[in-house]
Structure 1
Amino acid sequence: MTYVVTSRCVGTKETSCMTVCPVDCILDIGEQVVIDPVECVDCGACVDVCPVDAILHESEVDDPAVVADAYGRFGLAAP
């Protein structure tokens, strides 16, 4: 299980989440940031600093397509 950056990040892309991540698993891909699900250690530090509440634990995401996309960006299948 990992955290997912939702579409709320698009256009805002405030990167304090990247600064607090202890394993540098949050990447800037242009219009938003994404979390590498392999590298994420599920600490939740990014959630606390996101000003637009764009980061959710994948278990809190209602749309399975959002989780699938988050994993798919890294060539992975969602669990």
Structure 2
Amino acid sequence: MPYVVTENCIACKHMDCVEACPVDCFYEGRSMLVIHPVECIDCGICEPVCPVDAIKPGTEPGVEAWLELNRVYADKWPNITSKGTPPADASAMDGVPGKLARFFSAEPGEGS
């Protein structure tokens, strides 16, 4: 089961995970990153490097909707292979509740 990016990445988007990933399975949206579930090799390297604890194993209870969101947008957004600059207010957005409804954007990011 692949790893999955969850709500706390929204508006934080630190991208440390991108540099750690050995298979380049991250895709960039305007407000968050997602993991392509078919490309992910389940190595888990990305999980501990995420400074906002937004990456979870796909087997963790409660991440099913996030697994689907990752699957859908990994096919729409550009691949990202190098760390970019996180939003200026990323630290302030860590742990803010309700980010999916308030800050999620379906628009693609720039990729790299």
Question: TM-score w.r.t. structure 1 length?
Answer: 0.84
State the AA in 2 paired with 1:58: G
- Find out whether 1:54 has 2:61 as its counterpart: no
CA RMSD after TM alignment: 1.5
Tell whether the 8 Å contact from 1:61 to 1:67 is kept in structure 2 after alignment.
Answer: no
Contact 1:6 1:56 in 2 (8 A): yes
Q: How does 1:30-69 map to 2 (within 5 A)?
A: 30-69=30-69
- CA deviation map 1:11-50 (0-9, x unaligned): 1100010001000111221101110111111111100100
Q: Which residue of 2 aligns with 1:22?
A: 22
Q: Which secondary structure does the structure 2 equivalent of 1:60 belong to?
A: coil
- 1:64 deviation in Å? 2.6
Identity %: 43
The structure carrying a bigger strand percent of its residues is 1
User: 1:27/1:73 Cα in 2 relative to 1: closer, same or farther (>3 Å)?
Assistant: closer
CA contact (8 A) 2:8 2:52 kept: yes
The alignment of Structure 1 onto Structure 2 pairs a total of residues equal to 75
- Distance verdict in 2 for CA 1:55–1:61, change over 3 Å: farther
Equivalent residue, structure 1, for 2:100: none
Higher alpha-carbon Rg: 2
Write the distance in 2 (CA, Å) between the matches of 1:19 and 1:61: 27
Q: 2 CA distance for matches of 1:2 and 1:32?
A: 17
Given residue 40 of structure 2, which amino acid in structure 1 is its aligned partner?
C
In structure 1, stretches of 5+ residues that fail to align are: none
Residue 48 of structure 2: SS of its match in structure 1? helix
Q: What is the CA distance between 1:63 and its match in structure 2?
A: 4.5
